[in-house]
Structure 1
Amino acid sequence: MLSDAIAALRCPVCQGICHLGEGPHRAILCSAGHVFDAAKQGYFNLLTGKGTVFEADSADMVAARQRFLDGGHYAELAGTIASLAAEAMKGPDPAVLDAGTGTGHYLHAVLHKTPAKAVGLDISKFALRRAARLNPQAANLVWDIWRPLPLADHSMDVVLVVFAPRNPPEFARVLRPGGTLLVVTPRPGHLAEAAERTGMLSIQEGKEAKLAETLSEHFLPGRTISLDIPLALDPGQLADLAFMGPAGHHLDSHKTPGTADGTESLDTTAKFQIGIFRSRETRP
């Protein structure tokens, strides 16, 4: 499956067709001779030039995220995503892009339900180390999602975006005609009690309408699913929750407010919106 996924890539230097090199020293090679060696952990870094100006998640943030997700707190979300992706990958050559794959948690759920060629993109090498171990059959790539994606036109059935940046024109380009874009975002009130205690950012009103507006040029809206998951978190789990997201760039994992030893557990609710969008191109 890895070689199939890499065949869907296009060289970021010359846009040439890519393939997986032979032998024990794995590398991505393009038709013009550009080479991208695999890191020892199994992922590939395709960024060229100055790399990216965006701040990648740190090793501590990624570790917190993996502990929290491995605890099963968002298992219902992962299962829902996997079922929706399976509905959209009914063809003979299913393919999925996870844009902002992180540790590969949600992509893993998708591939467990529907074996497919898969590509995972993220700018954090710390996240991709874990993603490559979890999803070795996928092409796990260091990449800036705001750039043109290193993928062939119309090569994916599904693009998955879970709490990650969105690049609508590029998502539309790489999706096959009639392809599906699944976008997971928090709704107002998401983890409100946890945010109040820890200093996490709250969710602004109007984000749902803004999302639809930013995608409208390239995608047709489908149904929207609201998913609420009640959580009962001990201090350690609450600290991981606060530190694993964007607030982790500004918080100290050992001094997160409201998570010190002895602090009582917290009941809160994760409130998600899963938007299902279709490419404006239709299958013949």
Structure 2
Amino acid sequence: MSLILPSFLTIAGTDPSGGAGIQADLKTAAALGVYGSSVVTALVAQNTTGVFLTEPVGQEMLAAQLEAVFTDIPPQAVKIGMAGTSVSIEIIAEKLKKYNQAPVIVDPVMVSTSGHSLLNPQDVKALTSRLFPLATLVTPNIPEAAALLSTKGRRLSTRKDMEEAAKELFQEYQTSFLLKGGHKDQGADDVLCCNGSITWFPGERISNPNTHGTGCTLSSAIACGLAKGMELEESIRKAKSYLNGALKAGFNLGKGRGPLWHGWNHEAY
């Protein structure tokens, strides 16, 4: 008897401390019963206290990684996190167009949890013009959404603000947006604009300062749900439930904003 699992591909940067990036994506996939493949866009020296150095992967190596996965283990869903430079984004877009027919989740990683800027304006333009059109869903947090709106720096503090922003982003980029509310002072409700329709996903504000990798984890969990054949809304609900459990586990590791416990739903040996 052979074991068959849905396959998921993460295209992102690394985190040697294991809390975010590709490491968090693969832990999420394993916890949710999905086989994880990965393509590294950048080597990132980071931990719970911040980002210290970023080095993009060479163009030839990036292209070769993408070819290696798509020609051998075609994924049932793709998650794109830290896409890297505009040149890297072009390569990713070309390979997706050539090989991929699966849903694509884009987590527009523009600023790290510690406040470190990860994309320059040229890279943001490439991200929005080349990858957003290929996306099934884009998952910005409030600061990222504010940066993507045509009216820069808008305050998104109320439910009405978030709804209007999600609609504007959908209209501008013609793809679904899940605007995450975790940066609000109260609550953690997320709002989805899909085909112009608004759906709210209630979220519990969990008292835990250790939030390193929450965005990576949520977007990967959504992609894993899609890889399993779930509809988008069901996948978002399941992903939020999984993320809540990882936060509620109360994991405490590192000197800064610590990581989540991705294995909370599995018994230890």
Normalised-by-shorter TM-score class? 0.3 to 0.5
Select the structure that is richer in strand. 1
Q: TM-score, normalised by structure 1?
A: 0.33
Select the structure that is richer in helix. 2
